[in-house]
A and B are shown apart, each in its own frame.
Chain A
């Protein structure tokens, strides 16, 4: 546990229930979002069974699993592992298999709120085993990033993962210490593909893991490499996910977040007297639907726009300026920002 982490304290201990950290000391840093002792990367490559009849003996040699902590905001942790399986049939050697893997895991936070958890793993190997129907050994390579974090606020955890043929992955998140054990688990194997999972998490303590694996089967020696990668990103409920962009930002300020209590977005017209005088009207669009038109807004005028709290929202303001000369076409400017769902 780093010195920085010990400045945390009581908040985490209370929220996480089972965890005790030492008393606050030193400079005031934000509380860590992750519980160090439970945020660990483990990587291994070894024999994993298969079809092993009585005459078939698969002798596995390899290094023990690599294991180590993944410090919050400490940069990615790299691990590797390799193994070899020597196979005999009726006492006669029929070949060897080997599998090597590398993995990289990281966890980050911003101001004491978890931000990302990521795991990438890839494996490659080879097999010279001459298989028979009762002797088809397999080897597995895998890496698991276990985590335990504390959410001071509710929000959305979005997990994007991709898998190549022969590889697979798991994602799990469970509420710590809650009676009816709210949880989500995903597990898939073999088919190439990609997945996106969005889980709405109330504030509280959670644990779980990301896991990536690849299986080398002696029955499919040509399928000798694969990879899995996943990134979980936590966004507080209603937070802005794309900053305002567009030239109308001079004339209207889009809000920093959705007001989740009332499911509203509340943009504000410029407070500059000179600038507001140029504005003929502001039209607001939520998810490309026109929801409000404000003609000649007053300076600093706040407009409240309803959003669907269970969905992400895109807010666009189109500002029409007074024409420079009468009869001229007025200029239109726009500004757009995006927001996470509330619940």
Chain B
């Protein structure tokens, strides 16, 4: 709500000029970091000892704000009917979250969680089934005004579990989702999805839990990194010495479905060029000998393919018989749908 007022004021002030403040992208009320921990001891012949529960922690995640960190912990105990049957357990977790936006679009969100949990039983097996767990979660909500690619990277190690739910609707039948779960297996996941304009919500959580009626422990981490990339945008900016001779574009063209490189318009410089070779990945896709000044060399790119472009410009040898010099330049581009 606060954001909306700020934006409205900014919009009024900015009339007739470029907006001074981009409208907020994330829904403040939905965009939060949580940390929680719990303990329970259950069983027909088990009594959980009364211990005050620590409240779960919540903090807002402000758009482009600093990383927010929360911790929570819980310990508890229980006993069976046998005098020696006593169990204790504890769990704690620390979670950090951050969300960023730029140019009216979400740019990234991050969650990292590390947690540990332990159960100690005085007997080999207790009458109590104990669960001690702790974790953290980020919730985000945002509106997309244009199609973007979401890249979602999730890494889980140790005995961490993941619960991830991301969904959105462009209205009508346009409902999509990503639901991910897992427990106790190290995983590395990369998802890339083209999201269309609409309203989106996501919950990204990691948790560590120890469970059982004997002494045991668990430790683990979970990381979630989401980035949003406009179709065709440069993901690695053009760089390299060949740029003096050949311009690599700031973005791939999603209308012409390709990358348009442009030969230098300087007559003197173009005369030095023996040939231009263009590679996508490791494959050479284009070779132009003695290009004309200002010529555009178009590289078609298949829909859905991200591009790693490398240009090699071979200059005329300075003296005949000398080895010609080759300069390179590189850039990477997001796919076009």
Q: A183-B181, A190-B174 are in contact. Are A199 and B195 (CB under 8 A)?
A: no
Which chain A residues (173-221) contact chain B, with CB distance < 8 Å? 173, 175, 179-201, 217, 219-220
B66 contacts the other chain (Cβ, under 8 Å)? Answer: no
Among B149, B189, B212, B304, find the residue whose CB has the most chain A CB atoms closer than 10 A.
Answer: B189
Q: Closest residue to A216 on the B side, CB-wise?
A: B173
Q: How many whole Å from B232's CB to the nearest CB in chain A? A: 15
Q: Please determine whether B182 and A183 come into contact, CB atoms closer than 8 angstroms.
A: yes
Inter-chain CA distance A173–B182, complex, in Å, is 9
B contact residues around A197 at 8 Å (CB): 187-190
Q: Please determine whether A184 and B185 come into contact, CB atoms closer than 8 angstroms.
A: yes
B contact residues around A201 at 8 Å (CB): 185
Q: How many whole Å from A308's CB to the nearest CB in chain B? A: 13
B contact residues around A310 at 8 Å (CB): 157, 186
B285 contacts the other chain (Cβ, under 8 Å)? Answer: no
Inter-chain CA distance A182–B187, complex, in Å, is 11
Contact of B194 among A175, A182, A193, A195 (CB under 8 A): A193
A343 contacts the other chain (Cβ, under 8 Å)? Answer: yes
Interface residue range, chain B: 20 to 34
Inter-chain CA distance A179–B213, complex, in Å, is 12
Q: Please determine whether B193 and A188 come into contact, CB atoms closer than 8 angstroms.
A: yes
Contact of B190 among A188, A191, A195 (CB under 8 A): A195
B contact residues around A191 at 8 Å (CB): 176, 178, 193-196
Q: Please determine whether B185 and A199 come into contact, CB atoms closer than 8 angstroms.
A: yes
13 further interface pairs, Cβ-Cβ under 8 Å (given A184-B187, A188-B176): A165-B194, A175-B185, A180-B184, A182-B183, A184-B185, A187-B177, A187-B179, A189-B176, A189-B177, A192-B193, A195-B190, A197-B189, A223-B173
B contact residues around A165 at 8 Å (CB): 194
Which chain B residues (151-203) contact chain A, with CB distance < 8 Å? 157, 159, 172-196
B contact residues around A193 at 8 Å (CB): 149, 191-194
B contact residues around A219 at 8 Å (CB): 172-173
Q: Please determine whether B194 and A185 come into contact, CB atoms closer than 8 angstroms.
A: no
Inter-chain CA distance A122–B140, complex, in Å, is 33
Q: How many whole Å from B210's CB to the nearest CB in chain A? A: 9
B contact residues around A184 at 8 Å (CB): 181-182, 185, 187
Tally of contact residues, A, Cβ under 8 A: 33
B contact residues around A343 at 8 Å (CB): 186
Q: How many whole Å from A322's CB to the nearest CB in chain B? A: 24
Q: A186-B189, A197-B189, A219-B172 are in contact. Are A192 and B337 (CB under 8 A)?
A: yes
Inter-chain CA distance A136–B172, complex, in Å, is 10
Q: Closest residue to A51 on the B side, CB-wise?
A: B173
Q: Please determine whether A192 and B194 come into contact, CB atoms closer than 8 angstroms.
A: yes
Q: A180-B211, A198-B189 are in contact. Are A190 and B183 (CB under 8 A)?
A: no
B contact residues around A189 at 8 Å (CB): 176-177
Q: How many whole Å from A266's CB to the nearest CB in chain B? A: 25
A contact residues around B193 at 8 Å (CB): 188, 191-193
Inter-chain CA distance A235–B27, complex, in Å, is 43
Q: Please determine whether B188 and A182 come into contact, CB atoms closer than 8 angstroms.
A: no
B-contact bits for A158-180, CB 8 A (1 contact / 0 none): 00000001000000010100011
Inter-chain CA distance A35–B33, complex, in Å, is 44
A-contact bits for B302-333, CB 8 A (1 contact / 0 none): 00100000000000000000000000000000
Q: Closest residue to B196 on the A side, CB-wise?
A: A191
B-contact bits for A210-245, CB 8 A (1 contact / 0 none): 000000010110010000000000000000000000
Contact of B173 among A181, A192, A217 (CB under 8 A): A217
Can you show 23 pairs from A to B with CB atoms below 8 A apart?
A: A179-B212, A180-B183, A180-B184, A180-B211, A181-B184, A183-B183, A184-B187, A186-B189, A188-B177, A188-B191, A190-B174, A191-B193, A192-B194, A193-B194, A194-B192, A195-B189, A197-B189, A199-B185, A199-B187, A200-B187, A220-B172, A220-B174, A343-B186
Q: Please determine whether A185 and B181 come into contact, CB atoms closer than 8 angstroms.
A: yes
Which chain A residues (295-311) contact chain B, with CB distance < 8 Å? 310
Q: Please determine whether A200 and B177 come into contact, CB atoms closer than 8 angstroms.
A: no
Q: Closest residue to B192 on the A side, CB-wise?
A: A193
A contact residues around B337 at 8 Å (CB): 192
Inter-chain CA distance A201–B193, complex, in Å, is 26
A contact residues around B173 at 8 Å (CB): 136, 217, 219-220, 223
Q: Closest residue to A50 on the B side, CB-wise?
A: B173
Q: How many whole Å from B266's CB to the nearest CB in chain A? A: 35
Q: How many whole Å from A237's CB to the nearest CB in chain B? A: 12
Q: Closest residue to A184 on the B side, CB-wise?
A: B182
A contact residues around B149 at 8 Å (CB): 193
Inter-chain CA distance A186–B179, complex, in Å, is 6
Q: Please determine whether B189 and A183 come into contact, CB atoms closer than 8 angstroms.
A: no
A contact residues around B212 at 8 Å (CB): 179
A-B pairs with the 10 shortest C-beta distances?
A190-B176, A182-B184, A193-B193, A191-B193, A184-B182, A217-B173, A200-B186, A185-B181, A187-B179, A198-B188
Q: Please determine whether B186 and A199 come into contact, CB atoms closer than 8 angstroms.
A: yes
Inter-chain CA distance A217–B157, complex, in Å, is 39
Q: Please determine whether B175 and A195 come into contact, CB atoms closer than 8 angstroms.
A: no
Q: How many whole Å from B167's CB to the nearest CB in chain A? A: 9
Contact of A185 among B157, B176, B180 (CB under 8 A): B180
Q: A182-B184, A183-B183 are in contact. Are A196 and B190 (CB under 8 A)?
A: yes
